[in-house]
Amino acid sequence: MQPFTKHTGIVAAMDRANVDTDQIIPKQFLKRIERTGFGQFLFFDWRFDATGANNPEFELNQPEAHGATVLLARRNFGSGSSREHAVWALADYGFRAVIAPTFADIFYNNSFKNGFLPVKLKEEEVEELFRRAASHQPYRVTVDLEQCTVTDAHGFSASFEIDEFRRHTLLHGLDDIALTLQHEDKITDYETAHHR
């Protein structure tokens, strides 16, 4: 898993609340068995029209969102079903973090297990980021997991809270398997002692 320490990137502002996992990655694209290749289908029903052409009204298709790696959204992001594919699609598209006032619990948990950072900021801080994203195009922020801050080059600064264990695993790029392998010597000793 790729570590997350500090990331500066262009913001894609998605002024929508209750973005659910079926919009993030529609169910018809869940047939792959690997974690890659889902980015092309991210927000499929919103990004493309009925002919398969880019929908010019959709936020990610706007010129200022080109190359965005930080997604800005409204409350209850990632609601709906528990599909881990939603995080895979966001990461495969190129996003490293999403900033919102609140997240659905399962999406929030899945994010950490996949090296993706969900940042909870206060409603008024998110509102200010939307204002700045509309004024400065393209708009960039720095998400610093070491300091637990979100900043920009125009004087914005906000702190966020995160569970220390989750912070540690992201900073060091440790998924569940990597955490287990930190105890490989003990596992080997146990298996040797109990070998039949």
* 33-58 pLDDT, tens digit each: 788 899 999 999 999 999 999 999 99
The per-residue DSSP string of 140-179 comes to EEEEETTTTEEE-TTS-EEE----HHHHHHHHHT--HHHH
Topology at the third CATH level for domain 6-193? Aconitase; domain 4 (3.20.19)
Residue 48 burial (10 A CB sphere; 0-12, 13-18, 19+): middle
Give residue limits of the domains in the chain.
6-193
Mean pLDDT, residues 13-41 taken together: 93
Could you say which DSSP state residue 61 is in?
G
Bridge pairing between strands 117-120 and 97-100: parallel
* Cα–Cα distance for residue pair 80/23, rounded to 1 Å: 9
Helix or strand run (H / E) with residue 17 = none
Asked whether the beta carbons of 73 and 100 are under 8 A apart, the reply is: yes
**What's the pTM value of the predicted model, to 2 decimals?**
0.89
* 151-190 pLDDT, tens digit each: 999 999 999 999 999 999 999 988 655 555 554 565 555 6
pLDDT at 187: 56
Question: Which of 60, 63, 68 has the alpha carbon at shortest distance from 43?
Answer: 60
